[in-house]
């Protein structure tokens, strides 16, 4: 009977060792899961912070783009775009603008012109003339003369 008791005791010991081993494995797995959960929470918070930062940057970018558009428009306030002027070899665009001014009754002095140049259009071979005046007043003088001339010609 003692032998049987020793055998049963050994069997119980083996089972107990297996249970202890299994418990250690489960405890290790549980700790790994807990650490992974903590890391996940940290990553979620970091993601939310990045998301908020991105939204702020998106708003700042939209505001900056709007300001750039407004500044571009403001910088063009002294400009006139003239279409339909054939391009000639060795042309002097300042003189062309002066002649246009004379034709519409709004004399244009070279001193009121900042710069004159051609720009390409979407139509192949076609270029428009951009005139930048030194002041808006000089620009408006030519525009108003052209409008009056157009109204009279109708």
One-character DSSP codes across 76-142: TTTEEEE--PPP-TT--HHHHHHHHHHHHT----GGGEEEEEEEE-SSTT-EEEEEEESSHHHHHHH
One-character DSSP codes across 46-68: HHHHHHHHHHHHHHHHHHHHHHH
Q: What is the pLDDT of residue 151?
A: 78
- Angstrom distance (rounded) from CA 129 to CA 119: 6
Token duo for residue 21: 């081993």
DSSP state of 154: -
Q: What is the pLDDT of residue 42?
A: 97
- Domain 77-153, CATH number (from 2.30.30, 3.40.50, 3.30.70, 3.20.20): 3.30.70
pLDDT, mean over the chain: 91
Whether this prediction's pTM lies above 0.75 is answered by no
Q: What is the pLDDT of residue 128?
A: 93
Q: Among candidates 75, 96, 74, which has minimal Cα distance to 142?
A: 96
Average pLDDT over residues 23-52: 95
3-class secondary-structure state, position 26 = helix
């Amino acid at each position: 009977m003692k032998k049987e008791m020793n055998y049963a005791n050994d069997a119980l010991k083996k089972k107990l060792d297996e249970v202890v081993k299994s418990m250690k494995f489960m405890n290790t797995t549980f700790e790994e899961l807990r650490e992974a959960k903590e890391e996940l929470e940290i990553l979620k918070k970091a993601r939310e912070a990045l998301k908020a930062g991105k939204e702020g940057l998106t708003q700042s970018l939209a505001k900056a783009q709007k300001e750039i558009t407004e500044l571009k428009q403001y910088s063009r306030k002294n400009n006139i775009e003239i279409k339909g002027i054939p391009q000639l070899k060795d042309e002097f665009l300042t003189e062309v603008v002066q002649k246009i001014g004379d034709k519409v009754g709004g004399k244009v002095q070279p001193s009121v012109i900042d710069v004159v140049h051609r720009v390409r259009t979407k139509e192949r071979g076609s270029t428009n003339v951009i005139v930048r005046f030194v002041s808006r007043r000089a620009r408006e003088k030519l525009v108003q003369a052209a409008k009056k001339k157009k109204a009279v010609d109708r």
